[in-house]
Amino acid sequence: MSKKPALLMLDDGTCFEGLAVGACAEACGEFVFATAMCGYQEILSDPAHYGQIPVFTAAHIGNYGATPQDDEATSLYAAPAFTPDATAPELRHFGAAGAVFHDLFTEADALPFPHWRAKSSLNAELAERGITGISGVDTRALTLHLRTQGARNGIISALDLDRDSLLRRAKALPSMQGRDLAGMVGCQISYAFTPRGGDLLPLSYSPGSANPAGTIAGGPPQKPLNIALLDCGVKRSTLLHLTRNNLRPMLWPAKTPAAEILAAGADGFIIAGGPGDPAACGYAAETLRELLGRLPFFGLGLGHQLLGLALGAKTYKLPCGHHGPNHPVREVATGKVSITSQNHGFCLQADNLPARLRPTHWNLNDGTLEGMAVTDVPAFSVQYNPESAPGERDAFGLFASFRKLIDEFKG
């Protein structure tokens, strides 16, 4: 690991010293804390983290290295490096702008990594992707600060160690509110997703969900169905779950009009994941509004928020967001509690939902709306990420539920 000093400066003047890791340059964005004990590569490569810098609450990160199998960005994911004006084009396969560690494992940087899955160390992977991080930070103190004060903009720098200069620059960074980032991280041309050799789901399927052959345990083979996916930052694991249910995703750029999607003859429609302020994605909400009732819809993460916006609900920014694989969610119909993986900073206002939206899931930590269904058309959504990358497999069955919804709609 480089012994180059680095500073972490928040826009309120809070500053931490450490050592630069990864690209050893600079990173700017919104600092949030991620509560996962593992799955660090999935977190860093999640497009929903675009423009953000995760602070890992687990003390030791990087012990099992990095591998392409854990990269959640899709093969055509291309976005500019996150800057205030976002004008510098650069191929990126990681979603996060930077990363903060207490202890990043770097002892094997110059050796074959001592883990059977690893192709490189996480530090080397960060450097290859041009992502700057900082290690040696008291992440407990930083997490407590973000937990009490809310997510904050800031800068990690190994180039500029002048605290006054860093503070001025941190204060000048744009707020996440009002930022349309979803249109920047998805595909630029439509394409059909096809799994490649080595593509694996994070955990094996449980009974009753689809297996790799596209059949349901104990049931007949499923007919392949075509799914239109408006790409606002979908994760690779989500696409793999769809294909395991014999749902073939066709990805479309975020600003694709509804007429073009309908002309392609899809059997269902999805918006899954994505960064930024959902209220700034009016184009995607308009497309969704025009498709509701014409195609069965499943919304995940940003797609959940856009479903609400399309029908007249409003969103607001959470103080620190939900970023981690350990959020308990209760299903209204059954009372069942699932442990879910989440990565979002905005939420739907639950106290003035339009009459057409029926709440189906609630967050047990803060009472926020985690799931809903439309009462008069085949459409439902969840705020969390059922693909479990990383996280528990409690919500795997939602993909099979979407498959069932399409089958019922088609008769």
CA–CA gap between residue 192 and residue 95 (Å, rounded): 21
Mean pLDDT over residues 46-61, rounded? 95
Fold of 182-410: Rossmann fold (3.40.50)
Domain-by-domain residue ranges, the chain?
Answer: 5-171, 182-410
pLDDT, tens digit, 9 for 90 and up, residues 232-248:
999 999 999 999 889 99
Q: Which residue, chain included where needed, has tokens 């960074």?
A: 173
Query: Tell me, what's the pLDDT at 87?
Result: 37
Given a cut of 60, is residue 209 above it in pLDDT?
no
Query: Tell me, what's the pLDDT at 201?
Result: 55
* 198: confidence class by pLDDT, cuts 50, 70, 90: low
Mean pLDDT over residues 362-380, rounded? 97
pTM value is 0.90
pLDDT, tens digit, 9 for 90 and up, residues 252-262:
999 999 999 99
Comparison of pLDDT for 81 and 127, the residue scoring more? 127
* 345: confidence class by pLDDT, cuts 50, 70, 90: very high
Given a cut of 50, is residue 293 above it in pLDDT?
yes
Query: Tell me, what's the pLDDT at 344?
Result: 94
* Residue 143 CA: distances (Å) to CA of 35, 114, 137, 320: 10, 30, 11, 10
Distance in angstroms between the alpha carbons of the first and the last residue of the chain:
59
* 320: confidence class by pLDDT, cuts 50, 70, 90: very high
pLDDT, tens digit, 9 for 90 and up, residues 139-168:
999 999 999 999 999 999 999 999 999 999
Pick the CATH number of 5-171 from 3.40.50.460, 3.40.50.620, 3.30.43.10, 3.50.30.20: 3.50.30.20
